[in-house]
Amino acid sequence: MKPSYKGLFGTLILLWIGHFFVDFMIGIWPVYKTLAHLDLAKAGLISAACAFIGEGLQVVFGTLSDKGWRKGLIISGVLATAASTLLAYTQDYMVLFCLFLTVCIGSGAFHPSAVGLVGNLVKERRGFLITIFASGGSLGLACSQLIYTHTHFVLGGETVWLILPFIALVACMVLIGFKKIAVEPSHSKKIDLTQYVKLFKNRDLRNLYFAQVCNQSVFWALVFLLPDVLICREYQPWICFGGGHLFLILGGALMMIPAGYLADKFSPRKVMLYGTIFGMLFFYSLIMFPILPNYVLMTLLFFVGATIGMLNPVLVSFGIKLLPSQPGTVSAFLLGLAWCVSEGLGQGGGGLLTKLFTEDAPAKALMVLGLFFFIGIFVTYRLPETGEKQKTVDYARSNSV
């Protein structure tokens, strides 16, 4: 039967813009901590704690999403992430913790709900649509630091004005609404967190989880420490305060849609494996050569982003293909449960590792964390060529929760 496209494009556009705004606000913290000259170890611990709590709540939000709370979680998630507009008004570590925790909780509410909705708009094009959705977040994350720092300097720190587009988007979401999908909410109101234990017992989903943790640990460590790496190497201010970050994230954003198409056409395993291998090579080339011309630096940052930055949506769509009956739960498993660990390891671990070095400390901390690439390659190699093996179909039928 030919899928119905009624309401699809309006829903996809709203969610794409929402993802742009949510990840825009997530991208502010790494550059704000550098602008405000915060201690890297303390800033990293704030990132780790907030990510562990906020993103970890995706296991709850993902379940609630599958039980019919999807629209409310998407809207409240977008609003909560706007707390980043208030960071510039304080340097008190406890207040900063509360603000960034609000951002992470908003992210935790938005991502599994939105991914679950996008993944079931047209099931035959699930991977392609999820990568389109993911590109919105990547573009928001890419331009976040340049726009934020420019706004900060021009308006003298009055960054609260950045909240206005969020209010307009939420109004559109309330008035227009979203396309209804075929996955019906459960009548049970109980949140059964043991379902995540069942997901972890499946070998393929478990390998996907570890691949996600390894990839995202390196990615978030690089996002967190990149401004400091570039400052230590005395690059121009526009590169340090957003330009380098832009090229890093833009690489992943531009590669996501082709990667989703290739994953649907050939194998998500191949896309993930080659992406991780080449990502490791580009990553260590960037870290091990401290003096590079601007165009070489930007090219390397672009290719690092294009390889490791595009893996997340391919991996999540692979997981939903393994268990299509619970898209919100699977998204929470591969996003929230993985991110709460990987952001802690990447940002928290990266910040603490800088204390072990005196010269070029941020880059050396990244070099240590790059060891996660090897684990990621190993677990990705163990994945099946396609997400439609009979054993995974049988698993989905026998472990419906």
CATH number at residue 256: 1.20.1250.20
Return the sign of the alpha-carbon dihedral for residues 184, 188, 190, 196: negative
Asked whether residue 184 is assigned to any structural domain, the reply reads no
Check if the beta carbon of residue 107 is closer than 8 Å to that of residue 78. no
What pLDDT, on the 0 to 100 scale, is given for residue 25? 94
Tally Cβ neighbours within 10 Å of residue 104: 27
Check if the beta carbon of residue 106 is closer than 8 Å to that of residue 78. yes
What pLDDT, on the 0 to 100 scale, is given for residue 372? 95
Asked whether residue 2 is assigned to any structural domain, the reply reads no
Q: Give the pTM.
A: 0.80
Asked whether residue 354 is assigned to any structural domain, the reply reads yes
For residue 273 the two structure tokens come to 């494996």
The phi, psi pair for 66, rounded to 5°, reads -70, -15
* DSSP assigned state of 158: -
The number of residues making up the chain comes to: 401
What pLDDT, on the 0 to 100 scale, is given for residue 390? 38
From first to last of the 401 residues of the chain, give the pLDDT tens digit.
344 455 677 788 888 999 999 999 999 999 999 999 999 999 999 998 998 888 778 778 877 877 778 888 989 999 999 999 999 998 899 999 999 999 999 998 888 888 778 876 766 666 677 778 888 888 898 999 999 999 998 888 899 999 999 899 888 888 876 655 544 444 444 556 677 788 888 888 899 999 999 999 999 999 999 999 999 998 999 999 999 999 999 988 888 778 878 887 778 888 999 999 999 999 999 999 888 999 999 999 999 999 998 888 888 888 878 777 777 678 778 877 787 888 889 999 999 999 999 888 999 999 999 999 999 999 999 888 764 443 444 444 444 43
Asked whether residue 3 is assigned to any structural domain, the reply reads no
Structural domain of residue 19, as residue ranges? 8-178+190-398
What pLDDT, on the 0 to 100 scale, is given for residue 185? 47
What pLDDT, on the 0 to 100 scale, is given for residue 114? 86
Rounded to whole angstroms, the Cα distance separating 320 from 208 reads 11
Asked whether residue 28 is assigned to any structural domain, the reply reads yes
Asked whether residue 24 is assigned to any structural domain, the reply reads yes
Rounded to whole angstroms, the Cα distance separating 301 from 355 reads 25
What pLDDT, on the 0 to 100 scale, is given for residue 264? 79
Nearest to 319 by CA among 277, 268, 273: 268
Asked whether residue 124 is assigned to any structural domain, the reply reads yes
Residue written as token pair 């939000």: 61
Provide the domain count of the chain. Answer: 1
What pLDDT, on the 0 to 100 scale, is given for residue 179? 59
Rounded to whole angstroms, the Cα distance separating 340 from 342 reads 6
Rounded to whole angstroms, the Cα distance separating 116 from 84 reads 25
Tally Cβ neighbours within 10 Å of residue 318: 28
Residues 6+ apart with CB under 8 A from 175: none
Asked whether residue 139 is assigned to any structural domain, the reply reads yes
Distances (CA, A) of 318 to 194, 313, 327, 373, 378: 22, 8, 11, 20, 17
Rounded to whole angstroms, the Cα distance separating 250 from 377 reads 23
Residues 6+ apart with CB under 8 A from 343: 47, 48, 51, 52, 55, 216, 217, 220
